[in-house]
Amino acid sequence: MKASVSAGRLGVGGGGPSSPASSPSGTVEYSSLPPDAVFAFVFSTGRCGTQHLARVLGSAPEAVVTHESESLTLRPRDVVTRTYRRLAGLPTVAAHDAAAARHVRRQLLPVLAARLTAAGDAAHTAVYTGHVPLAYGLGPALADALGTRLRVVRLRRERLATAVSLMALGPPEEDAWTADVAVPAVAVGVAGGAAGASSRGLRWFPVPSAPFVALRVEAPVWSRLNRFQRYLWYVDDIECRWQRLRSRLAESQVLELQLEALDLLDGGREYGRLARFLGVRINGTEAGVRHNSMQDKGRDKSAEGEATLRQWDREYRALVDGCDLGGGRVLSWKHMDDGGAGWLL
């Protein structure tokens, strides 16, 4: 794939009027890429197989895979601290949306476009498998900037299993909502501003007060939730925001996968769906490997039994209602059976 390296103006690809912006040195003007170039993002909570997808797709000549390292100069943890936490701490939806659009158009997409260009003529799909961009509310900004170039893989795992796995990432003091992190009035780019030292060691998830959160929980309710229930809230908020984004996208732009289905001995049917959706080849050897498991990390999951977790889930659903998806649709967990998905009302 050939495209000119630019430090000049960025246009908006396929989705609307141009919005000039400076491109960082060493990046590519993404709107100038050939028409078959697309950008695919995984929408998940994390702990749902994102690193597995990175390994499965990583050797495909048609794809350039980025898992978490989206900056030319900073480590992923510092990008989360300096950019994504600041975006999540902005005071209004409008302020977040404007800052998110700047980050997408000036930093994120130009970096991915540069990697795609450097990979050679066979590469046509930039795949970002890490959960952070969409978990931190960049979905609408990506849809605006990319238009028909955008592809989204919605990767899910059973709700309770996801919450348990997220809890096992570290001790409670590292949960994203344990610190009151000071945030400047205006979000800055990846390379700008001083990192908030108090937030650097926290998990890479948004807090309930973030402006892009769809599943709103009032402070008195939040204070009644235990740790497991707070992670259930995060899992459910991701689903709310996915449903909102899904309504903006065409069928050809969306693929929904269940992590548990990837483990089935079905002749590679689910991997075939992924390969056809992205137009890339799958590494069959990597498909049979379990990547980034808690056993590999040497960490233990909750010792609570399934009966206790389901009781906590029922108590959580009695407290946390649902989210407004627009168009008169509500996604609610209050009336569902154990283990089910939220009901669209």
* pLDDT tens-place string over residues 268-323: 899 999 999 999 999 988 888 776 554 554 555 667 889 999 999 999 999 998 89
pLDDT at 140 over 90: yes
Tokens at residue 290, please? 């379990």
**Greater pLDDT, 146 or 203:** 146
Using CA atoms, how far apart are residues 101 and 21, in angstroms rounded to an integer?
Answer: 11
160: its two tokens: 């309770």
- The span from the CA of 4 to the CA of 145, in Å, is 19
Q: Is the pLDDT of residue 29 over 60?
A: yes
For helices 159-167 and 306-319, the axis angle rounded to 10 degrees is 100
What is the β-pairing status of strands 150-156 and 254-258?
Answer: parallel
What is the band of 6 on the pLDDT scale with cuts at 50, 70, 90?
very low
Q: Which residue has the tokens 């960082």?
A: 24
- pLDDT tens, position by position, 151-193: 999 999 999 999 999 999 989 989 998 864 333 333 333 333 3
Nearest to 41 by CA among 162, 115, 143: 143
**Amino acid (one-letter) located at 301:** K
pTM of the model: 0.83
- The CA distance from 198 to 105, in Å, is 28
Residue 146 pLDDT greater than 60, yes or no:
yes
At residue 298, the pLDDT reads: 54
Is the CB of residue 179 less than 8 Å from the CB of residue 202? yes
Q: Is 271 exposed, middle or buried (0-12, 13-18, 19+ CB in 10 A)?
A: buried
* CA–CA dist 22, 102 (Å, integer): 10
Per-residue pLDDT at 197: 42
Question: Would you state the pLDDT for residue 131?
Answer: 94
Region 207-233: what's the mean pLDDT?
Answer: 94
pLDDT band at 210 (very low <50, low <70, confident <90, very high): very high
Q: Is pLDDT of 58 > 50? A: yes
Q: Which residue do the tokens 């975006």 mark?
A: 87
Distance, in Å, from the CA atom of 38 to the CA atom of 229, rounded to the nearest integer, reads 37
Q: Rounded distance, CA 237 to CA 214, Å? A: 6
- % residues pLDDT > 70 (the chain): 79
What is the rounded CA–CA span in Å between residue 184 and residue 56?
39
The residues pairing with 153 across neighbouring beta strands, listed in sequence order, are 42, 255
Share of the chain above pLDDT 90, in %: 58
The yes-or-no verdict on residue 253 having pLDDT over 70 is yes
H/E stretch holding 172 reads none
Q: Does 23 have pLDDT greater than 60?
A: no
Length of the chain: 345
What digits encode the pLDDT tens for the residues 116-139? 999 988 999 999 999 999 999 999
Residue 153 φ then ψ, to 5° = -100, 115
- Using CA atoms, how far residue 246 sits from 24, 48, 151, 241, 243, in Å, is 31, 19, 11, 8, 5
Cα–Cα distance measured from residue 271 to residue 112, given in angstroms and rounded to the nearest whole number: 24
Q: Are 132 and 17 in contact (CB under 8 A)?
A: no
Residue 330 has φ and ψ, to the nearest 5°, of -130, 135
What are the b/e assignments for 204-224, b being 16+ CB within 10 Å? bbbbbebbbbbbebeeebbee
The pLDDT assigned to 266 comes to 75
**Backbone conformation region of residue 17, classed left if phi is above 0, alpha if psi is from -120 to 50, else beta:** beta
Q: Which amino acid is at 263?
A: D
Q: How far is CA 115 from the centre of its chain?
A: 20
Q: Which residue has the tokens 């993002």?
A: 41
